[in-house]
Structure 1
């Protein structure tokens, strides 16, 4: 996705005469919580994880900003509603700030439900091993989202310190990694005996 304005001199271009692409992105970013609240569910997530400001000079009003928007939910209907709401918000911001925009879907992975049988086996093996567990929908896709259209799937997550993931601060105790591996091993052994 991108917003295009007009690159111009940071010192000579009056604030009210700027077509600042980054300010459009800032406006859009501030709209995300409202859009999720109005059009999403408690499982909805939206993230601008990547942005490039061009021309990228400290003394130049940004003329172009390219960015990503990762949107997730367990419902395809909700995902469609969110896509429409995000597109409308971007259009309104572009119009207000005199910008051009592109809202292009680069990829789409449909939500996939875990197999109730696999989940029940994971729960059973957790109990057998004396482990606490919590059953929840996952916002993380991993290979399960792709493989789920071919075979029954389930996922095992283990605790990370302070719940951090995809971060240099991510850390999980070896005992928790071992417990998760044992749950998977016992579940696979049980399923293979059928």
Structure 2
């Protein structure tokens, strides 16, 4: 996955690089997309994501009472993602929603209303690298004498919110417009 890093801090191919190496490096840089505060995910560096990003203090973030707010940083913070927009492609073809529909006007009207209703639902999440943790790997070998093995991985605490905003809220607005916030948190251990 690689850490967050500013694009200018990614080392170049060097002075003695061939034309192909310079072109490959430039192609790699152009494939990166700024995502978090001007930083990009440096995927050629295989180190783990670190807590380097200052969290945006949204109402979702404030709903978690167990977080020490001073100097709190995250590996990633995604805000104001629209659930209706996420699943909107399903509504493009009524038969994808219900195979028994045949383009009936009433069905299309219901689908349009449902699509607009689902745009009221948003989600947000942020993750925190909380350090090393053991995980149980299953099926490490096909030998008869093998059994499950325990290894170290990296634990991430994932905080997320399901959000319902007030009716008529614009797609880009939501903080302060929430009617319901459902905070969720879990720990996930990824193998190193």
TM-score above 0.5, yes or no: no
- TM-score of the superposition, structure 2-length normalised? 0.22
More helix by share: 1
